[in-house]
Structures are given as C-alpha cells and as structure tokens.
C-alpha cells in the first residue's frame, strides 16, 4: 500500500510538471506571436488552456482521493496540500497567458508600436521562474526555490521601467496611447506570472521545511 | 471527539469571515482615501494587511492540523480543502488592496484627475462580491454563490468602459497620462478582486455539491 501511495505521488508530480510546461509554452507563444506579428500562432494557446484546466480538475480530484484513501500525516499531508496550492497557481498562469493572448490580438490589429522594450526579457525571466519553481518542488530543493524569490525582484524592476518608458512615449505621441496601454497590461500580466511562480516557490519551502515563510521574506 | 471537530470547524469559519471583513474594509478605505484625497487614511490599511497575513498562516496551520488529527473524509475533507483555497484568495484580496493603496498614494501627489468615473461603483460591486461569496460559504448557499458569478460580468464590463474612457481622456490631454494609467491600474485591481471573489464562489459550489464547476460556466 505504501509503495502504491508513492507511485501515485510520483504521478501527481508528473501531472504538475506537464501543466507547468504547458503554461510556460503558452506564455512563450503569446509573446512570440506579438514579436513576429503573427496572430495565427495564438489559436493553439486557447486549446492548450483547455488542457491546463482539465489537468487542474484532475489533480484536485487526485489530492482529495489520496488524502481520504491513505490518510497521510506530516510530510505527505503537507506535500498534498502543496500540490493543491501549486495546482491553483498553475491554472492562474494559464489565465494570464490567455490575458496576454487577448491583448496581443488587439495589438496586432494596429501598426507596430516601436518599443516592445524589455518585454521579451520579462518573458524570459518569468518563464525561468515558473520552470525553476516547479523543478524546486520536484527536487525538494529549497535553495532553488529561494533563487526564484530573488528573480521576482528583477522582474518587478523591469516592469516598473517598462511602464515608465511607455508613459513617456504616450505623452509624446498621443496616437500611441491605446497600444501603449495594451503593452502596459502585457507587462503587468508578466509581473503576475512572476507572482504566481513566487507563490509556488514559497509553497515548496513550506512543503520541504514545514516552515511558512510567506510574509517573512526578510528572514531568508 | 466529533463535537470537538465541529467546534473547530466553526472557529475556522469565523476566522475566514474575520479575514474577509478585514479585506473588504481595506478595499473600501483605499478608494475612500482617493475620493476624499486624504492620504492619512491609508496607513491603517498597511497594518490591517499584517493581520490578514497572520490569519492566513494560522488558518493554513489549522487546516493541516485538523486533517491530520481527525482524518476527515468526503464532505468534511472537501470543506477543509475549500477553507484552504478560500484562505489563499482572501490573502490575495489583501494584496490587491495594498496595490490600490500604493497607486492612490501616487495619485494623491498630483492634482485630481477629473474622471474617477465609475471606480466607486466598481468598489461597491467588488466588495458585495467578496461579502456574498463568504456568506455563501458559511451558509452553504449555492444560489448565493452563483449570483456572485453574475456580478463578475458586470464588474468586467464596468472596467472595460472605464479603461476606454481613460484612453480617450489621455489622448485628448497628455498631461493626464501618468494619472490615467494609475487609475487604469486601480480599475484592474478591482477587477482582480472580483476574480478572487469568483474563485471563492466556485470553491463554495465545489464544497457544497462536490461538483467542480470551474471551466464549465455555461452549465450553470
């Protein structure tokens, strides 16, 4: 029975990783469509979101079933609560990717606004954070989880810089206002993606150490 | 033992309600400070966020402890998973209230931008949603939870209208760009608050009916 429980936990981890890889691919593809000005690349992303949603329901069901069936305690119980929390974060990542898609669709209806500025760089940091936070969970690697928290500061700084540049841009060229606002929203979605990865990293530390580090970031 | 478990569940509900009332008060106060142009009202909100954060940690600990101690199944287990999920949503509500505070602080450093437009109306709908979703949880009232989902559509429409009006405003008056962008961010934070209340409402339906309605909104 114990071994069967372990097999089920391994399957859960694999499902989470699959969901994470999907979310990451969605985010990448949404911004690639913007950079390459090719709306055709967006359709696949809406299909992938359905897969992410189905995985979310299936993972939550598995968490409930395993908790009821094996009545785990201590570390295993924290692990299952962690899976359930990370599951929610991953579904939200999918939502943010869809938000970006919707904004990219609007942006592609108008001529290109010159400064995509550091948005591709934000994507690169945000998807690194998602991947690292999930790997930290699978590998129970607290140091890797902590490195995600540091990347989040970089991402936030980048977002502030982008917003400030776009505000100056709009002020000098009122014809750009609509597009600049959309781009600001894309940057904010990427910031939110970083927040979700940060939440996952905090969940990892909680699962591994049994220590709740949320709201005590200065203790790191 | 059974009765003691029930008492603990009742205490958990009360803690969730307390957290919800705090989050609601924070959102109200942040926008009131903007309307009345009084930054002094903002300080209390940062203190309240500490309380919300402390409640989150305490509720998560209680969920783990009760699951390990009483090894609940079926309805009680769903209830505890629901509490844990709602707990996360409420903490995010607090985060959004702080986001609004930060933006209001910036807005109060500049002369008032005329159109607060429908932002106070958004606050009214958003805080109704938070209150109704939590009451639905405590009262196990699926119909009340469903009414929250309908309010979310109103909130999203209002946000779209506000963003469009502010874009026109900026285009006609470049001196307003900075403030208009901040106001758009306030509107988006209020939209996010509605999303969190919607998540809570979906969790309520899951807890009460054992039916996962996420991603199947058309079946309602």
Whole-number Å distance between alpha carbons of B45 and B29: 7
SS3 track for B101-148 = HHHHHHHCCCCCCCCCCCHHHHHHHHHHHHHHHHHHHHHCCHHHHHHH
pLDDT in tens, A9-53: 999 999 999 999 999 999 999 999 999 999 999 999 999 999 999
Average pLDDT, chain A: 91
Measured CA to CA, the distance from residue B125 to residue A58 in angstroms comes to: 32
**What's the rounded Cα separation, in Å, for the pair B115 and B139?**
39
Which residues, given as ranges, of chain A have pLDDT below 50?
217-220
Q: What percent of chain B has pLDDT over 90?
A: 79
Mean pLDDT of B70-90: 91
CA distance A204 to B19: 24
The encoded tokens of residue B81 equal: 């998973």
DSSP B216: -
Question: The domain B2-219 belongs to what CATH superfamily?
Answer: Phosphate transport system protein phou homolog 2; domain 2 (1.20.58.220)
List chain A residues with CB under 8 Å of B54.
Answer: 215
Asked if pLDDT for residue B218 goes beyond 70, the answer is no
Q: Of A63, A217, A55, which Cα lies nearest the Cα of A145? A: A217
**Is there a contact between A41 and A100 (Cβ–Cβ < 8 Å)?**
no
Contact: A54, B167; criterion CB under 8 Å: no
* pLDDT tens digits for range B133-152: 999 999 999 999 999 999 99
Pairwise CA distance, residues B128 & B192, whole Å: 14
Task: Compute the nearest-CA separation of A120 from chain B (Å).
Answer: 22
Size of interface A-B (CB pairs under 8 A): 84
The answer to whether B64 contacts A85, with C-beta atoms less than 8 Å apart, is no
Q: Report CA Rg, chain B.
A: 19
Read off the pLDDT of each residue in B12-20 and give the average, rounded to a whole number: 94
Structure tokens at B209: 């009916």
Confidence at B217, pLDDT banded by 50, 70, 90: very low
Of B61, B63, B88, the CB nearest to A88: B88
Q: Which of B73, B167, B215 sits opposite A177 (nearest CB)?
A: B167
Q: Looking at residues B117-131, what average pLDDT do you find?
A: 93
Q: Which of A73, A70, A80 is nearest to A3 (CA)?
A: A70
Q: Is residue B198 pLDDT above 80, yes or no? A: yes
Closest partner residue to A170 (CB to CB) among B77, B170, B185 is: B170
B→A interface, C-beta within 8 Å: 50, 53-54, 56-57, 60-61, 63-64, 67-68, 71, 73-74, 77-78, 81, 84-85, 88, 163, 167, 170-172, 174-175, 177-178, 181, 184-185, 188, 212, 214-215
Q: Which of B60, B71, B81 sits opposite A71 (nearest CB)?
A: B71
Please provide the DSSP assignment of A103-160 as one string: HHHHHTTSPPPS--TTHHHHHHHHHHHHHHHHHHHHHT-HHHHHHHHHHHHHHHHHHH
- Candidate from B56, B77, B177 with C-beta closest to A64: B77
> Do A77 and B67 lie within an 8 Å CB cutoff?
yes
What span, in angstroms and rounded, lies between the C-alpha atoms of A172 and B116?
A: 24
Nearest residue of chain A to residue B54 (CA atoms): A215
Phi-psi region of B217 (alpha: psi -120 to 50; beta: other; left: phi over 0): alpha
Distance between CA atoms of residues B107 and A29, nearest Å: 35
Q: Under a CB-based contact definition with an 8 Å cutoff, are residues A155 and A122 in contact?
A: yes
Residues in chain B closer than 8 A to A175 (CB atoms): 171
The answer to whether residues A218 and A149 touch, using CB atoms and an 8 Å cutoff, is no
DSSP string, chain A: -HHHHHHHHHHHHHHHHHHHHHHHHHHHHHHHHHHTT-GGGGHHHHHHHHHHHHHHHHHHHHHHHHHHHH---HHHHHHHHHHHHHHHHHHHHHHHHHHHHHHHHHHTTSPPPS--TTHHHHHHHHHHHHHHHHHHHHHT-HHHHHHHHHHHHHHHHHHHHHHHHHHHHHHH-GGGHHHHHHHHHHHHHHHHHHHHHHHHHHHHHHHHHS---TT-GGG-
Ranges of each domain in chain A: 2-219
Lowest-confidence segment of A55-59, B78-82, B100-104, B207-211 by average pLDDT: B207-211
- Report the residue of chain A nearest B68, measured CA to CA: A73
For helices B119-139 and B177-209, give the axis angle rounded to 10 degrees: 10
DSSP SS3 for B73: coil
Residue of A nearest to B175 (CA): A171
What ipTM score was computed for the predicted complex, to two decimals? Answer: 0.79
Query: How far does the CA of residue A26 sit from the closest CA of chain B (Å)?
Result: 18
């Amino acid at each position: 029975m114990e071994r069967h429980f372990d097999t089920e936990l391994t399957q859960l981890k694999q499902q989470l990783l699959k969901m994470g890889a999907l979310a990451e691919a969605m985010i990448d593809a949404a911004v690639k469509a913007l950079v390459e000005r090719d709306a055709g690349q967006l359709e696949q992303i809406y299909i992938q979101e359905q897969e992410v949603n189905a995985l979310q329901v299936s993972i939550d069901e598995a968490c409930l079933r395993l908790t009821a069936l094996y009545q785990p305690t201590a570390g295993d119980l924290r692990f299952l609560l962690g899976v359930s929390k990370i599951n929610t974060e991953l579904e939200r990542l999918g939502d943010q990717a869809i938000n970006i898609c919707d904004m990219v669709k609007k942006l592609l209806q108008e001529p290109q606004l010159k400064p995509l500025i550091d948005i591709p760089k934000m994507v690169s940091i945000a998807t690194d954070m998602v991947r690292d936070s999930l790997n930290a969970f699978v590998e129970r690697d607290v140091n890797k989880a902590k490195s995600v928290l540091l990347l989040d500061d970089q991402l936030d700084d980048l977002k502030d810089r982008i917003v400030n540049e776009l505000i100056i841009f709009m002020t000098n060229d009122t014809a750009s206002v609509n597009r600049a606002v959309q781009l600001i929203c894309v940057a904010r979605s990427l910031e939110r993606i970083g927040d979700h990865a940060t939440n996952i990293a905090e969940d990892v530390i909680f699962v591994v150490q049994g220590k709740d580090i949320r709201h005590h970031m200065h203790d790191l």
